[in-house]
């Protein structure tokens, strides 16, 4: 669960870069594809679900995962602030509750990110190549 290289090696997991960020980007792409005009990630995901866009179960999981990661990031940053530490998006797994660790470690949230990326690859890779004339 922790990074193996870089300045935060073995320190923790970047919840924004590896979790919330990919969900935000997937929601943007899906919203563009579906013609959804919302700019808030949760609003986009709700709108997409109401349209039964592609995979409504995935969209629901993305919404719940995004909300979980956002709350977790805020909790970690509040702890950092109260300890007079610089704020970051990194979380050390040993600082999490067993439930939080389980949701991340068993890849419930990160598995949702992988599912979204797989759908993007499957649905949009062909569209990109056809636009390029390949």
2-18 pLDDT, tens digit per residue, is 555 566 556 688 889 88
Taken in order 75, 24, 61, 19, the sign of the CA dihedral is negative
* Phi, psi dihedrals of residue 14, rounded to the nearest 5°: -80, 105
d(CA 31, CA 50): 12
61-117 pLDDT, tens digit per residue, is 999 999 999 999 999 999 999 999 999 998 888 888 888 887 776 557 888 999 999
**Cross-strand pairs, 14:** 90
20-30 pLDDT, tens digit per residue, is 999 999 999 99
What pLDDT is stored for residue 9 in this prediction? 55
Query: CA–CA distance from 120 to each of 7, 28, 46, 96 (Å)?
Result: 30, 11, 18, 31
Contact 44, 38 (CB under 8 A): yes
d(CA 122, CA 84): 45
Contact 13, 93 (CB under 8 A): yes
**Cross-strand pairs, 91:** 13
**Any idea of the CA torsion for 70, 76, 80, 86, to the nearest 10 degrees?**
-50
Give this prediction's pTM. Answer: 0.82
């Amino acid at each position: 669960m922790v990074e193996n290289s870089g300045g935060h090696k073995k320190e923790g997991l970047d919840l924004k870069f590896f979790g919330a960020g990919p969900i935000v980007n997937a929601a943007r792409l899906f919203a563009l594809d579906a013609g959804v005009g919302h700019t808030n990630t949760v609003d986009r995901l709700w709108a997409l679900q109401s349209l039964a866009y592609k995979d409504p179960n995935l969209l629901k999981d993305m919404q719940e995962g995004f909300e979980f990661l956002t709350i977790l990031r805020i909790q970690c940053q509040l702890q950092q602030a109260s300890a007079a530490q610089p704020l970051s998006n990194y979380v050390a797994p040993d600082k999490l509750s067993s439930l939080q660790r389980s949701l991340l470690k068993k890849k419930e949230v990160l598995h949702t990110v992988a599912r979204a990326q797989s759908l993007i690859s499957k649905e949009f890779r062909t569209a990109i190549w056809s636009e390029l004339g390949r």
